[in-house]
Amino acid sequence: MKHVNPEICKSYLYHKQCTSGNCSITIKTRVGDTGGDWNFSGIRSVNYFINTVTPRIENGQITGNLTHIKHYLGEMYFFRAYLYFNKLVALGDFPIITEEVTEDYNKIRELSRRRPRNEVARFILANLDKAFLFMLPIQGMLEMPLTKLYLRIETLD
């Protein structure tokens, strides 16, 4: 990244070059235009699944093996915990969003409020508890990642 001397910027020649299209300046931003740590697309997808499937399970609207259906729901709780864990590590305080965000300005403003780290950590642990409750045991394969996440969160809390 090239830094420009402010005195040169004040000169007529520099001003003339930049306004005529002969000058380009590259600026490195700290926050990307899209994606990054503030990307909510994964959280939105997981929330949509949980909020759509849970009432359908309760109302008996989903057919199939209920154990497997609950396992998939448990996976979504695990993924939500994983996504929030990454946000906790990268950003610390972070909004906790569990419902669909509508275009209501006041609602968006309320939901986008950052929550303290310890509250985010407790939210992650609650999601891991639900994941453990719903998911099928696979000979220690589930317990190991959950235990590692629990231990890591306890050190952050």
**Domain ranges within the chain, ordered by starting residue:** 33-156
pLDDT given for residue 104 in this prediction = 84
For the stretch 82-133, pLDDT in tens is 999 999 999 989 999 999 888 888 888 888 899 999 999 999 999 999 998 9
pLDDT given for residue 139 in this prediction = 57
CB 156 within 8 A of CB 121: yes
Taking Cα atoms as reference points, which of 95, 93, 81 lies closest to residue 149? 81
pLDDT given for residue 12 in this prediction = 45
38 CB-near residues (< 8 Å, 6+ apart): 31, 91
Q: Which two tokens stand for residue 153?
A: 């969160």
Query: What phi and psi, each to the nearest 5 degrees, are found at residue 92?
Result: 80, -120
Whether the per-residue pLDDT at 31 is higher than 90: the answer is: no
Whether the per-residue pLDDT at 27 is higher than 80: the answer is: no
CA-atom Rg of the chain in angstroms? 23
Q: In the chain, what is the straight-line distance between the N-terminal and C-terminal CA atoms, in Å?
A: 38
pLDDT given for residue 120 in this prediction = 94
Instruction: Give the Cα separation of 133 and 112 in Å (integer).
Output: 29
For the stretch 52-77, pLDDT in tens is 999 999 999 999 999 999 999 999 99
The helix/strand/coil state of 103 is coil
Query: What phi and psi, each to the nearest 5 degrees, are found at residue 59?
Result: -90, 0
CB 153 within 8 A of CB 125: yes
